[in-house]
Amino acid sequence: MISDQQVEAQRVADRWLVDADSLERLAAAPRASGRPWSPQVAWACLRWLDGEQRAVAALAAVDRSRLRRRLQAPVRLEALAPRLVRRARPLRLHGHPSVLRDVEHAGCATGLSAAAALKVGLAVREGEQADVYVPEGTVDGLVAALALRPVEASGGANVTLRRVPDAAWQLEGRTVAPVAAAALDLAEHADTRSHAAARELAARVESRDA
């Protein structure tokens, strides 16, 4: 489950720390036949759902054909979610509130960090949380530059760096993640307001695709 990114885990010394919240999400998630899509296919799908139909052009012919067939049917984001788990590997950290804006500027905002831009009804105060997608190759430098620290439980984190493999990075020039990605990331939170915002964004995606 760790290797295919179905659960979140961080290696500390010689042991894996598995995030309990991600285990609960896995248990509650709908089951999909087949394995999760590769990061490249996952991001092509997310961009397609955001109206970027050219996103599939860079895929291998077989992946392009399969994805187009899958997206011909009406989309339910909840049903697609298990296929999209490999879009990034979340790294939960803690940073001083003064650096959270710098974190957001260093990546592509998603989840709570994208709420204002996507106009969902979530009041997130500046300096509370930072949730961004970043190319994996930039993570070590970002962590060091902003003195971000690992945490042993997601409840102590105020920074989420969602590490996208460099070869799959498709968000250059964007400040906010595709709506479907932001919806999936908001759905990870335990509070009802975040879940309501996730459902609102998912409904936008599904109505656009209808």
Q: What is the CA 192 to chain-centroid distance, rounded?
A: 19
> How much is the pTM?
0.83
* Residue 10 pLDDT class (50, 70, 90 cuts): low
What are the phi and psi torsion angles at 112 (to 5°)?
-60, -30
Which residues lie closer than 8 Å to 34 by C-beta, 6 or more apart? 83
Beta carbons within 8 Å of 192's beta carbon, 6+ residues apart: none
**How many Cα atoms sit within 13 Å of 170 on the Cβ side?**
24
Q: What is the mean pLDDT of residues 145-152?
A: 92
Question: What residues contact 72, with CB distance under 8 A and at least 6 apart?
Answer: none
DSSP 136: G
What is the per-residue pLDDT for 26? Answer: 47
Confidence bin at 16 (pLDDT 50/70/90)? low
CA distance 117 to 189: 18
**Number of Cα atoms under 13 Å in the Cβ half of residue 77:** 26
Which of 53 and 9 is assigned the larger pLDDT? 53
Domain ranges of the chain: 21-86, 88-209
For residue 18, list its beta bridge partners: 9
Packing angle, helices 192-209 and 39-49, rounded to 10: 80
Label residue 88 by pLDDT band (50, 70, 90).
Answer: very high
Mean pLDDT of 61-74: 92
Q: How confident is the model at residue 113 (pLDDT cuts 50, 70, 90)?
A: very high
Task: Return the higher-pLDDT residue of 176 and 24.
Answer: 176
**Can you give the pLDDT at residue 27?**
45
> Residue 43, CB half-sphere, CA atoms under 13 Å: how many?
21
C-alpha 181/C-alpha 133 separation (Å) is 10
